[in-house]
Structure 1
Amino acid sequence: MPLTLEFGYATATGPRERNEDYGGFVEPDARLAATKGMLAVVADGVSGGTHGREAAESSVRNLLADYYATPDTWEIPRALGTVLGAINRWLHGQTASRVDPGGMATTLTALVLRGRRYHYAHVGDSRLYRLRGETLDALTTDHVWETPGMSHVLKRALGLDTHVLPDFGEGELAPGDIFLLVCDGVWEPLGQLELHRLLKLYAAPQRAADALVEAAHARGGQDNASALVARVVAVGEADAPLIEAHELPLPGKLKPGARLDDFIVEAELHSSRDSLIYRARHAETGQRWALKTLQPVLQGDADAACRLLAEEWFLKRVHSHYFPDVLPLPGRNFLYFAVRYFDGATLQDKLDAGQHFSPVEVVTLGIRVLKGLAALHRLDIVHRDLKPANLHVDAEGKLRILDLGVARCPTLDAREDHAQPGTPSFMAPELFGGAEANAQTDLYAVGATLYHLLTRKYPYGEIEPFQHPKFGEPVPPARTRPDLPPWLENVILKAVARVPAQRFETAEEMLLALERGEANPLLRRRTPLIERSPAGAWPLVAAASITLNLLLLFLLLAS
């Protein structure tokens, strides 16, 4: 069952000349609601500026629109924070560029409800309350100066400064929860007890919002009054954005000539423990596609089906030519997805065929991989299984990154419980200790891949599955490839450093190091002996200490 909400919103000018409050909410379609949630916002323009209403209205309108334009793969706080940062810069810039006096600033409180959770972003002295059962809690803290006499002076608001630091929070939803977003023109004259009473008195959110605004002015409120009420009728399913039904049957083992919906199978390309990949031709267009499905033994395995659909979900959102295109399949009758097929070979195929890669070729390949990886990381997606077998070069020399079957992002992680996917020899050392994969572990895999292409070896030796390796210092690749330029060796060794803090932080940083090359070489950090081998360093320290003490004793006796 999807998350079901009821909203109500009311605002009134009151004794003021104009209403500088603004609020609104969005109830998107089911697909968007599953990935981005439902958004409600209330803003109160700062009265000290002549453009308070404009600031409040433009902030709410832009947030309601731009939030839904952020990538589905971003976490909600990042999406809200990015949009609010852009709005703040625009408001601050308007204040500086306008000739007429007065600033543009506003408070703002935003609430996103998705699946079984809620998230909020808050700046200023508007407030967010939650009524659960008989308890009304204030979820936000006012950003005002605590000095006596300055309780209404904002220290944070959109448009006040060049940078803004909203407060973020989240929590679990429960059926019957009521959320209240109000400006200070409501919560100040009413107080928490009256807010509680009115929310309990009126079940319908619109009736409650109207009553709160009317009561605020009846109690002597001298400010604009605005209230937005959201009631949770039913919570949604587990927080996962996959909309496609995974109950579709598997196509089973297919032979050349078999028909699968609009495709005619030509050959089986790959078979693994979990998946099958076929090369197929579209019956109408003649275009070749690669079809990926599950092994027949996984029929009815909901987790495996979700993992397959998750890979398709990721590929649909990565708009980069370094990844294969996905064909929309709105009317499919079986569980599979289709990506464009290209003749060519993976880098592992080329290694197996005996091809040797020159340093120039490896640098070119590394630059292409990092450009694709940068596009992936900008969406907060971590690949988790980069290796030569997942890097494909087509007949025209174009590189593509394959297999997002174990990828993850903050909004979608369809991996098996307690699983740490990846190919051991290309996995960063910290992953063997249970650390979560991130952008730096992907960059380690890129470094290990470049190392392997050049040497056919691995930085720390080959690691077998289920092995618990110990990591010392990586073997310099120049020992196997004396023709390797020192600057390139330094880049690779930095990428595969045992300690994450010594690696590249982003794909763009490593990309820049490869593009600059010898023109601006990366200096190699020499690891101190105490870091390389603590067990071997301490005996040397002890020996030096004993020698020094004996020397001092000799000098003392001699004198």
Structure 2
Amino acid sequence: MNRLIRHGHDLRCEIGFASERGRRPDNQDFGAARIGRARIDSRTDAAAVVADGVGGHRGGREAAELAVRGFLDGYFSLPGSLGVRLAAARSLDAVNSWIVAQGRVDAERAGMATTFTALILSGRTGHCVHVGDSRLYRFREGALDQITDDHVMGGGFQHVLRRAVGMEDPVRLDHLAFALRPLERFLLCSDGVHGALSDAKMREILSQRAAPQQTAHDLVAAALAAGSADNCTALVVDILDTPPADESDLRDFFDDLPIRPPPQPGEVLDDYRLDALLSDGRYSRLLRAEDLRSGAHVVIKFPQPRVAEDAAFRRAFVNETFVASRVRSPWIAEVIEQPPERQTRLYSVMPFYEGETLEQRLNREPRISYAEGAQIAARLARAVGVLHRARIIHRDIKPDNVLLLKDGGLRLLDLGVARLPQVEDFAPQDIPGTPSYMAPELFSGAAGDEMSDLFALGVTVFRLFSGAYPYGEIEPFTKPRFGAPASLAARRPDLPAWLEGAVAKAIAVDPAQRYSDVLEFAFEIENGARSARPAAPKKKALYERNPLLFWQVLSALLALALIAVLARR
């Protein structure tokens, strides 16, 4: 068994292999898999191959082994700039020419040939290179699909090959490319397996989701038990995860999707049943839905047509998916990437999180306590820090885009307007923002950076504790004047003094006067929350607490004093 576990820009897969000679005196099948060195875009390719030497020829086993070993050596020695198809064709052509030549000059190897089926995993794409009657199957969401065609004679000659490696020079290959998806399985097998097992039986074994090595063994054992008279070979590949999509790939995908008016609750779209309206804003409509394929509850965001240019909408959906594919964090909202064949219009799908936005929390009683607020502020600062480490600028941090989960967690939402590294940005007129949270430099045309995100975070924390804006609520299409910020302590005298200083530094008008980065602000909040307590409220005088009792006590004391004076006289 081979196991490939990669991170970053590589795929993750697991491979299992089994082969038995069965009733034959020897095993003319050969299979192998290899994980290759980085080829192009710093990615690593993997290849799995099964070959079945042509029976009845003494060189069948040699042809199968030569084809597999020679192909893998040749493919992984060629430059990645050739591309998968051309590199695979060149490698197999060279092997084929050698096998054909050997069959012509060596009588003991006359007629040596082999079937050949290869699965090449490169980035987010799978490639099948095939000739003969060994097969490649894909098992996805309970369905088993045969990807290859058998190159055999028709009629009563189904076991007679029309094409194979070593039969002719040059060899005629089939090539097919397809998108890879996490949690799907591939099966490469010789005709000793697929000739003895029905599709239903193979589907049953693959659906048990045993480890690939065990699944390969079970398939071979089942074929032999079913009476297979041939060599039996099975190679199973599990796709555990795929690399993140390139920005250009996402842009091409979203550019092809039409923008249509948002649907209503009760409709079914692309196997999603829309069951509740969550929000209906100026730019988008959010609906809760049930995935009829998996049963999971999700949230689907649809654009509102005619509010902005199509290009701006598509850019926002590309951004969200791009960020979600590269940033995995418990603080950042996920986006569930859809298979191209399922999605028929422009929208994005997210998990359904139980909770409420920070804005909703601010609009209900009781007000947020010091302890609760410090925890929210620290987690939100950490979430922004996760983005900044990936060189991603959020550009719209505000309570509406902060989701407080019922389990106490937090998710930062709405990355559609984020500024991404080395990715084309929005046109200046299409860069939205919420004025009351925008840093002063943004009103002068700056595109946004870590310091402007820090400012928006500081304003959000100020509102979290006070419900107000430090520089007042700013109307759209105005250019405000930034003076001294409002006092947090005046609105919340129960808060420790250090907190006002920390927030004031985050929202300084001059970016040079702010923290060096958002993590420094996070540390200040966390450290202050551990070492400080809310200011102890001053005990109110009796007159402030109970004026009536104050005057009653004062009157009684005066009466007693008067009685004492009269008694002395």
Which TM-score applies when normalising by structure 2?
0.49
User: Which one scores higher on RCO, CA 8 angstroms, separation ≥ 6?
Assistant: 1
Report the structure number with the largest CA radius of gyration: 2
